[in-house]
Structure 1
């Protein structure tokens, strides 16, 4: 399944990226339901949603951003009654949020994700430009961890090579 998901698009690598992708997916589904009240998602949409949910539950999150995203996911899940015991989940989320807020205030936030090397960012930008050419420079830059200017430069270089 993961091979198919990766060949169809970019699979998020962090909890924060996965949470952002999940929110985009949910907003798109909500918009479709607004236009068509009896809208039924395609199977691939449900598979993508399930994959994102699995990642949100299972990806390691050793950074402040990852923990924050995981807390937001748990809160969302509890409020949507997706958990086996929503009341217990809400209490767990509240306790985790309080603990995390205290953790952040103590200044123990030294855990940062490893910096991506230039070659890795370039490869990510090129891959996104090839697989999702309709994305804006800003969105590709956000996903790749670089500036929109860099994405624009690579877009121009790739266009020149193709011509």
Structure 2
């Protein structure tokens, strides 16, 4: 990064602020598309699980995802922007990967559940990276209320990831290995 003057920590100029806000809004649009499309994908993933516990986890996360969409709409409003989506190639690929796991595994198998957990955790990690970065940018731009909303979603994504790990370690992976 080339700069002619050294800036104090967290000090940004008006021009820098406009550029950073543009990047921030772009990131919001990206994750907004991701959440909307994930909500649809979770319906398919739920229908294709074997274990009741994983089905329940996906159903719970789908409800949370609807809340994430609402929260993002609130964040757009807080920063004076219209809520709109921008196609997210990363989430598109992650959803496609989940669909391939469904088509490449046996219906009713724990191997499929294992694969769906793997796919879902990749989604969670992408979302956590997105929300953490957006929260940090919101703070830099002085959007503290938006940062708090993004942190709430980040926390929920982390809880879902933890639950998926627990399901995998408790029994799904072992039962998949026994098939």
- Give the TM-score of the pair, scaled to structure 1: 0.31
Is the helix fraction higher in 1 or 2? Answer: 2
- Give the TM-score of the pair, scaled to structure 2: 0.29
Structure having greater relative contact order (Cα 8 Å, sep ≥ 6): 2
